[in-house]
Amino acid sequence: MWHLCCQLTLKERKLPSSQYLSACTCIFLCMLLEISSRCCTTNIMEPHSRRQQDGEEKMPLQAEDIRPEIKDDLYDPSYQNEEGPPPKLEYVWRNIIFMALLHVGALYGITLVPSCKVYTWLLGVFYNVVAGLGITAGAHRLWSHRTYKARLPLRIFLIMANTMAFQNDVYEWARDHRAHHKFSETHADPHNSRRGFFFSHVGWLLVRKHPAVKEKGKNLDMSDLKAEKLVMFQRRYYKLAVMLIFIILPTLVPWYLWGETFQHSLCVSNFLRYAVLLNFTWLVNSAAHLYGYRPYDRGIGARENPFVSMASLGEGFHNYHHTFPYDYSVSEYRWHINFTTFFIDCMAALGLAYDRKKVSKAVVLARIKRTGDGSHKSS
Structural domain that includes position 269? 41-371
Does residue 376 sit within a domain? no
Does residue 224 sit within a domain? yes
Per-residue pLDDT tens over the stretch 302-320: 999 999 999 999 999 999 9
User: Does residue 41 carry a pLDDT above 70?
Assistant: no
What's the pLDDT band for 265 if we cut at 50, 70, 90?
very high
Tell whether 128 and 215 lie within a shared domain: yes
Does residue 17 sit within a domain? yes
- Measuring CA to CA, how many Å separate 318 from each of 287, 296, 327, 342? 10, 10, 12, 18
User: Does residue 31 carry a pLDDT above 70?
Assistant: no
pLDDT of residue 6: 45
User: Does residue 59 carry a pLDDT above 50?
Assistant: no
Tell whether 18 and 140 lie within a shared domain: no
How many beta carbons lie within 10 A of that of residue 201, not counting itself?
22
pLDDT of residue 30: 56
Tell whether 108 and 19 lie within a shared domain: no
The average pLDDT across 293-298 equals 96
User: Does residue 286 carry a pLDDT above 70?
Assistant: yes
How many beta carbons lie within 10 A of that of residue 189, not counting itself?
27
Q: How far is CA 23 from the centre of its chain?
A: 32
User: Does residue 10 carry a pLDDT above 50?
Assistant: no
Tell whether 142 and 33 lie within a shared domain: no
pLDDT of residue 25: 56
User: Does residue 170 carry a pLDDT above 50?
Assistant: yes
Per-residue pLDDT tens over the stretch 61-82: 444 445 666 777 888 888 888 7
Which residues lie below 8 Å from residue 368, measured CB to CB, with a gap of 6+?
295, 296, 376, 378, 379
Does residue 377 sit within a domain? no
User: Does residue 47 carry a pLDDT above 90?
Assistant: no
Tell whether 146 and 31 lie within a shared domain: no
Does residue 143 sit within a domain? yes
Tell whether 329 and 221 lie within a shared domain: yes
Tell whether 7 and 82 lie within a shared domain: no
| Least confident residue range of 27-41, 239-253, 321-335 | 27-41
Does residue 314 sit within a domain? yes
pLDDT of residue 24: 53
Tell whether 28 and 158 lie within a shared domain: no
pLDDT of residue 279: 98
| Angle, vertex CA 110, rays to CA 106 and CA 113, nearest 5 | 125
Does residue 26 sit within a domain? yes
The average pLDDT across 219-238 equals 96
Tell whether 28 and 160 lie within a shared domain: no
Tell whether 29 and 81 lie within a shared domain: no
How many domains are there within the chain? Answer: 2
Average pLDDT, the chain: 87
Long-range own/partner contacts, residues 302-306 (CB < 8 A, 24 or more apart) = 302/184, 306/337
Tell whether 21 and 90 lie within a shared domain: no
pLDDT of residue 88: 86
Tell whether 232 and 180 lie within a shared domain: yes
pTM: 0.85
